[in-house]
Amino acid sequence: MKPKLEVCGVSYSYHSLEGETLALCDISFTVDSGEFIAVVGPSGCGKSTLLSLLRGLIEPDEGEIFVDGAPRVKSSSDIGYMLQRDHLFEWRTILGNAQLGLEIQGKLNSTSTEKLRNMLNTYGLGSFQNARPSELSGGMRQRAALVRTLALEPDLLLLDEPFSALDYQTRLSVCDDISSIIKSTHKTAILITHDLSEAISVADRVIVLTSRPGRVKSITPISFGDIYKRPLERRNSPDFSYYFNKVWKELQIHD
Protein backbone atom coordinates (compact mmCIF):
# COMPACT_ATOMS: atom_id res chain seq x y z
CA MET A 1 0.00 0.00 0.00
CA LYS A 2 1.20 3.45 -0.88
CA PRO A 3 1.96 5.74 2.05
CA LYS A 4 -0.53 8.59 2.52
CA LEU A 5 2.22 11.16 2.57
CA GLU A 6 5.80 11.00 1.47
CA VAL A 7 8.30 13.77 2.17
CA CYS A 8 11.58 13.36 0.26
CA GLY A 9 14.62 15.49 1.02
CA VAL A 10 12.73 18.73 1.54
CA SER A 11 14.70 21.92 2.29
CA TYR A 12 13.42 25.45 2.70
CA SER A 13 15.09 28.81 3.32
CA TYR A 14 13.66 32.19 4.25
CA HIS A 15 15.08 35.15 2.38
CA SER A 16 15.46 38.73 3.52
CA LEU A 17 17.74 41.59 2.55
CA GLU A 18 19.87 40.80 5.61
CA GLY A 19 20.48 37.29 4.36
CA GLU A 20 19.20 33.80 4.01
CA THR A 21 18.01 31.57 6.84
CA LEU A 22 17.90 27.85 6.31
CA ALA A 23 14.76 26.75 8.14
CA LEU A 24 14.46 23.11 7.12
CA CYS A 25 17.20 20.87 5.77
CA ASP A 26 16.80 17.53 4.03
CA ILE A 27 13.57 16.43 5.74
CA SER A 28 12.38 12.96 4.79
CA PHE A 29 9.65 10.80 6.31
CA THR A 30 6.54 8.93 5.31
CA VAL A 31 3.13 8.76 6.91
CA ASP A 32 0.81 5.80 6.43
CA SER A 33 -2.90 6.17 5.96
CA GLY A 34 -4.70 6.51 9.28
CA GLU A 35 -1.53 7.25 11.20
CA PHE A 36 -1.23 10.00 13.80
CA ILE A 37 2.19 11.63 13.71
CA ALA A 38 3.46 14.21 16.18
CA VAL A 39 6.36 16.50 15.34
CA VAL A 40 8.26 18.02 18.25
CA GLY A 41 11.32 20.20 18.36
CA PRO A 42 12.78 23.31 19.96
CA SER A 43 11.07 26.59 19.12
CA GLY A 44 12.17 28.10 15.83
CA CYS A 45 13.11 24.73 14.33
CA GLY A 46 10.77 25.22 11.40
CA LYS A 47 7.84 23.10 12.57
CA SER A 48 5.22 25.50 11.24
CA THR A 49 7.22 25.94 8.03
CA LEU A 50 6.98 22.18 7.56
CA LEU A 51 3.19 22.30 7.74
CA SER A 52 3.00 25.26 5.34
CA LEU A 53 5.12 23.23 2.92
CA LEU A 54 2.91 20.17 3.30
CA ARG A 55 -0.24 22.24 2.74
CA GLY A 56 1.27 23.90 -0.33
CA LEU A 57 1.19 27.43 1.04
CA ILE A 58 4.90 27.64 0.17
CA GLU A 59 7.00 25.59 -2.23
CA PRO A 60 10.15 23.72 -1.09
CA ASP A 61 13.52 24.86 -2.44
CA GLU A 62 14.59 21.27 -2.78
CA GLY A 63 12.91 17.91 -2.47
CA GLU A 64 9.42 16.70 -3.19
CA ILE A 65 6.18 15.97 -1.38
CA PHE A 66 3.82 13.22 -2.49
CA VAL A 67 0.25 12.66 -1.37
CA ASP A 68 -1.14 9.23 -2.24
CA GLY A 69 1.89 8.72 -4.47
CA ALA A 70 1.27 11.83 -6.61
CA PRO A 71 2.87 15.27 -6.21
CA ARG A 72 0.60 17.26 -3.92
CA VAL A 73 -1.74 19.77 -5.53
CA LYS A 74 -1.45 23.32 -4.31
CA SER A 75 -5.03 24.25 -3.53
CA SER A 76 -6.60 20.84 -3.09
CA SER A 77 -9.13 20.40 -0.33
CA ASP A 78 -7.77 16.96 0.60
CA ILE A 79 -5.45 18.48 3.15
CA GLY A 80 -6.97 20.21 6.17
CA TYR A 81 -4.98 22.71 8.15
CA MET A 82 -5.76 23.72 11.70
CA LEU A 83 -4.02 26.80 13.01
CA GLN A 84 -2.80 27.62 16.49
CA ARG A 85 -5.65 29.99 17.21
CA ASP A 86 -9.20 29.30 16.04
CA HIS A 87 -9.53 32.53 13.98
CA LEU A 88 -13.29 32.29 13.97
CA PHE A 89 -14.69 35.44 12.39
CA GLU A 90 -16.76 37.51 14.78
CA TRP A 91 -18.91 38.80 11.91
CA ARG A 92 -20.13 35.29 11.17
CA THR A 93 -22.17 32.86 13.24
CA ILE A 94 -20.64 29.52 14.24
CA LEU A 95 -22.43 27.85 11.34
CA GLY A 96 -21.22 30.63 9.03
CA ASN A 97 -17.67 30.13 10.24
CA ALA A 98 -17.89 26.37 9.77
CA GLN A 99 -19.13 26.97 6.20
CA LEU A 100 -16.15 29.12 5.27
CA GLY A 101 -14.17 26.34 3.57
CA LEU A 102 -17.20 25.05 1.68
CA GLU A 103 -17.95 28.59 0.50
CA ILE A 104 -14.42 29.10 -0.77
CA GLN A 105 -14.40 25.75 -2.53
CA GLY A 106 -17.82 26.46 -4.03
CA LYS A 107 -19.25 23.34 -2.38
CA LEU A 108 -21.92 25.04 -0.33
CA ASN A 109 -25.34 23.47 -0.92
CA SER A 110 -28.20 22.10 1.13
CA THR A 111 -26.59 18.65 1.42
CA SER A 112 -23.29 19.97 2.69
CA THR A 113 -25.04 22.38 5.06
CA GLU A 114 -27.12 19.53 6.45
CA LYS A 115 -23.95 17.49 6.97
CA LEU A 116 -22.35 20.44 8.68
CA ARG A 117 -25.31 20.85 11.03
CA ASN A 118 -25.06 17.17 11.93
CA MET A 119 -21.35 17.53 12.56
CA LEU A 120 -21.93 20.53 14.81
CA ASN A 121 -24.53 18.49 16.71
CA THR A 122 -22.14 15.58 17.07
CA TYR A 123 -19.44 17.79 18.51
CA GLY A 124 -21.74 19.46 21.00
CA LEU A 125 -22.16 22.75 19.16
CA GLY A 126 -25.68 22.15 17.86
CA SER A 127 -27.32 24.76 20.06
CA PHE A 128 -24.61 27.30 19.25
CA GLN A 129 -25.03 27.29 15.47
CA ASN A 130 -26.36 30.83 15.40
CA ALA A 131 -24.16 32.13 18.21
CA ARG A 132 -21.23 34.48 17.67
CA PRO A 133 -17.74 33.11 18.38
CA SER A 134 -17.31 35.43 21.38
CA GLU A 135 -20.17 33.64 23.13
CA LEU A 136 -18.27 30.34 23.13
CA SER A 137 -15.62 29.01 25.49
CA GLY A 138 -12.07 28.42 24.27
CA GLY A 139 -12.57 24.68 23.94
CA MET A 140 -15.81 25.08 22.01
CA ARG A 141 -14.21 27.58 19.68
CA GLN A 142 -11.41 25.15 18.91
CA ARG A 143 -13.97 22.44 18.20
CA ALA A 144 -15.82 24.82 15.87
CA ALA A 145 -12.50 25.43 14.11
CA LEU A 146 -12.08 21.67 13.75
CA VAL A 147 -15.54 21.38 12.21
CA ARG A 148 -14.58 24.15 9.76
CA THR A 149 -11.53 22.08 8.78
CA LEU A 150 -13.38 18.76 8.65
CA ALA A 151 -16.22 20.21 6.59
CA LEU A 152 -14.07 19.86 3.46
CA GLU A 153 -13.63 16.18 4.30
CA PRO A 154 -9.84 16.13 4.12
CA ASP A 155 -8.01 12.79 4.34
CA LEU A 156 -4.96 14.39 5.83
CA LEU A 157 -5.08 16.82 8.72
CA LEU A 158 -2.28 19.19 9.63
CA LEU A 159 -2.52 20.50 13.18
CA ASP A 160 -0.31 23.44 14.05
CA GLU A 161 -0.26 23.51 17.88
CA PRO A 162 -4.06 23.71 17.91
CA PHE A 163 -4.27 23.40 21.69
CA SER A 164 -1.53 25.77 22.75
CA ALA A 165 -3.78 28.82 23.07
CA LEU A 166 -6.03 27.03 25.58
CA ASP A 167 -5.62 26.88 29.35
CA TYR A 168 -4.16 23.63 30.68
CA GLN A 169 -7.37 21.97 31.83
CA THR A 170 -9.29 22.79 28.63
CA ARG A 171 -6.27 21.77 26.67
CA LEU A 172 -6.23 18.23 28.08
CA SER A 173 -9.91 17.67 27.42
CA VAL A 174 -9.96 19.32 23.98
CA CYS A 175 -6.89 17.34 22.97
CA ASP A 176 -8.68 14.20 24.14
CA ASP A 177 -11.83 15.18 22.21
CA ILE A 178 -10.15 16.15 19.02
CA SER A 179 -7.75 13.24 18.77
CA SER A 180 -10.66 10.87 19.40
CA ILE A 181 -12.66 12.56 16.65
CA ILE A 182 -9.73 12.26 14.25
CA LYS A 183 -9.10 8.62 15.12
CA SER A 184 -12.75 7.62 14.93
CA THR A 185 -13.03 9.13 11.44
CA HIS A 186 -9.80 7.35 10.37
CA LYS A 187 -8.07 10.51 9.24
CA THR A 188 -4.34 10.76 8.85
CA ALA A 189 -2.96 13.53 11.04
CA ILE A 190 0.26 15.39 11.64
CA LEU A 191 0.37 17.35 14.89
CA ILE A 192 2.98 20.00 15.56
CA THR A 193 3.53 20.66 19.23
CA HIS A 194 6.12 21.78 21.72
CA ASP A 195 4.41 19.81 24.47
CA LEU A 196 6.11 16.45 24.75
CA SER A 197 3.41 14.79 26.88
CA GLU A 198 0.79 15.89 24.37
CA ALA A 199 2.80 14.37 21.52
CA ILE A 200 3.24 11.06 23.30
CA SER A 201 -0.37 10.91 24.44
CA VAL A 202 -1.81 11.19 20.93
CA ALA A 203 0.74 9.96 18.40
CA ASP A 204 1.57 6.66 16.76
CA ARG A 205 5.02 8.00 15.99
CA VAL A 206 6.91 11.04 17.26
CA ILE A 207 9.30 12.85 14.93
CA VAL A 208 11.96 14.92 16.71
CA LEU A 209 13.46 17.84 14.81
CA THR A 210 16.78 19.49 15.65
CA SER A 211 17.07 23.21 16.29
CA ARG A 212 17.48 25.49 13.26
CA PRO A 213 18.03 24.40 10.60
CA GLY A 214 15.49 21.69 11.35
CA ARG A 215 16.53 18.17 10.43
CA VAL A 216 14.88 14.89 11.36
CA LYS A 217 16.74 13.71 14.43
CA SER A 218 14.76 10.64 15.31
CA ILE A 219 11.45 8.93 14.70
CA THR A 220 10.10 7.10 17.74
CA PRO A 221 7.20 4.66 17.35
CA ILE A 222 4.80 4.84 20.29
CA SER A 223 2.70 1.87 21.24
CA PHE A 224 0.52 1.58 24.30
CA GLY A 225 -1.62 -1.36 23.24
CA ASP A 226 -5.37 -1.36 22.92
CA ILE A 227 -6.30 -0.63 26.52
CA TYR A 228 -4.78 2.81 26.45
CA LYS A 229 -6.48 4.39 23.49
CA ARG A 230 -7.49 7.86 24.47
CA PRO A 231 -4.84 10.46 25.29
CA LEU A 232 -5.97 10.81 28.91
CA GLU A 233 -5.77 7.02 29.35
CA ARG A 234 -2.37 6.95 27.75
CA ARG A 235 -1.11 9.49 30.24
CA ASN A 236 -1.93 6.99 33.00
CA SER A 237 -0.14 4.12 31.29
CA PRO A 238 3.00 2.80 32.98
CA ASP A 239 4.87 3.08 29.67
CA PHE A 240 4.14 6.79 29.41
CA SER A 241 7.16 7.95 31.40
CA TYR A 242 9.39 5.53 29.49
CA TYR A 243 8.45 7.14 26.17
CA PHE A 244 8.60 10.56 27.72
CA ASN A 245 12.18 10.04 28.90
CA LYS A 246 13.19 8.50 25.60
CA VAL A 247 11.93 11.40 23.48
CA TRP A 248 13.09 13.91 26.07
CA LYS A 249 16.65 12.57 25.72
CA GLU A 250 16.42 12.84 21.94
CA LEU A 251 15.47 16.48 22.33
CA GLN A 252 18.34 17.12 24.77
CA ILE A 253 21.23 15.54 22.86
CA HIS A 254 22.91 18.21 20.78
CA ASP A 255 24.67 17.37 17.58
Partner 1 sequence: MIETHPTLAQQEFIAREMLHRRNVKILRTALLILLLALWELCARLGIINDFIFSSPSRIVICFVSMVKDGSIFLHTGITVMETLVSFALVVIVGVLTAILLWSSRSVSEVLEPYLVMLNSLPKSALAPILIVWLGNNIKTIIVAAISVAVFGCIMTLHTGFTQTDPDKIKLIYSLGGKKKDVLLKVLLPGSVPLLISNMKVNIGLCLVGVIIGEFLAANKGLGYLIIYGSQVFKMDLVVMSIVILCVVSAILYQGIAMLEKRIGK
Q: Residues in the site for partner 1, rule: CB under 8 A?
A: 52, 55, 57, 75-77, 80-81, 83-85, 87, 89, 91-92, 100-101, 103-105, 148, 152
Looking at beta carbons only, is 83 or 232 nearer to partner 1?
Answer: 83
Identify which of 51, 31, 47, 28 has the alpha carbon closest to the alpha carbon of residue 195: 47
Whole-number minimum distance, CB 214 to partner 1, in Å? 19
- Return the number of the residue (42 or 96) whose C-beta is nearest partner 1: 96
Residue 67 makes CB contacts below 8 A (sequence gap 6+) with: 4, 5, 6, 73, 76, 78, 79, 156
Q: Which is nearer to partner 1, 25 or 95 (CB)?
A: 95
Q: How many CB atoms lie within 10 A of CB 201?
A: 27
Residue 69 CB, nearest approach to partner 1 (Å): 21
What angle do the packed helices 138-150 and 110-122 form, to 10 degrees?
140
Cβ distance to partner 1 smaller for residue 45 or 145 = 145
Before 213, cis peptide (omega within 30)? yes
- Residue 103 CB, shortest distance to partner 1, in Å, is 7
Provide, rounded to whole angstroms, the least separation between the CB of residue 56 and partner 1: 9
Q: Could you tell me which residues come within 8 angstroms of residue 119 by beta carbon, excluding any fewer than 6 positions away? A: 98, 147, 150, 151
In angstroms, the CA 217 to CA 247 distance is 11
Residue closer to partner 1 (CB basis): 81 or 224: 81
Measured CA to CA, the distance from residue 17 to residue 126 in angstroms comes to 50
Q: How far is the CB of 145 from partner 1 (least distance, A)?
A: 9
